[in-house]
Amino acid sequence: MTFDVRIEDARWNETGLETICEKVFQNVLTYFDMDSVNYEADLLACDDAEILALNQQFRNKSTATNVLSWPSRDRRSPVEGVPPNTLDAEQDSFLGDIAISYETCLREAQETQKDFEHHFTHLLVHGLLHLLGFDHEYERDARIMEKIETEILGKMGIDAPY
């Protein structure tokens, strides 16, 4: 299993999106010693209008954002600063859904002078970690999540985003 990608904005067609998704999926799950053939996630590659509508509907926020994620179930640890438990392939085969906006991703990459592919890769890693139960609502949880993102991206040859 892997990412099921739905492209809603044609500009994503020029990015090598599906190849990047496969690479990210493999690297994130390998980091946690999980076999990617046992798991699946969905990605909506959209624009600011679509992600704005989703952000309004699900988070009651009237702004476009870079990435949104919807875990198939709540996997967060009940204890701040403690990573979520390892997943069970039978119970957790479908991880959830992620949406990423092309326009916001491009704008952020340009504003921070980062390579678009690298920034998109970071957002996808970030979204997948949310599906696995990681969060950044509290400082200790944010440090854990950022450390893991940095390590995974480093293994992929991408500089630390923080």
Whether 86 has a pLDDT exceeding 90, the answer reads: no
pLDDT in tens, 148-161: 999 999 999 999 88
Strand order in the sheet with 94-101: 3-7, 40-46, 94-101, 67-71
Tell me which DSSP letter residue 159 carries.
Answer: -
Q: What is the mean pLDDT of residues 48-66?
A: 97
Among residues 115, 129, 125, the alpha carbon closest in space to that of 155 is found at 125
Condensed to tens digits (0 to 9), the pLDDT of residues 89-126 reads: 778 899 999 999 999 999 999 999 999 999 999 999 99
Confidence of residue 50 (pLDDT cuts 50, 70, 90): very high
Q: 1 CB contacts (<8 Å, ≥6 apart)? A: 36, 37, 38, 39, 40, 93
Mean pLDDT across the stretch 43-57?
Answer: 98
Using a pLDDT cut of 70, give the percent of the chain over it: 99
Which is more confident, 89 or 70?
70
- Residue-wise pLDDT for 2-26, tens only, equals 889 999 999 999 999 999 999 999 9
From the number of C-beta atoms within 10 Å of its C-beta (0-12, 13-18, 19+), residue 19 rates as exposed
State phi, psi for 114 to the nearest 5 degrees: -105, 155
Alpha helix ranges (H) inside 3-156: 17-31, 48-59, 102-111, 116-131, 139-155
Instruction: Categorize the per-residue pLDDT at 87 as very low, low, confident or very high, splitting at 50, 70 and 90.
Output: confident
Question: Which superfamily does 3-155 belong to?
Answer: Metalloproteases ("zincins"), catalytic domain (3.40.390.30)
Question: Average pLDDT for residues 81-91, to the nearest whole number?
Answer: 84
Span 25-45, pLDDT tens digits: 999 999 999 988 899 999 999
Nearest 5°: phi and psi at 33?
Answer: 55, 40
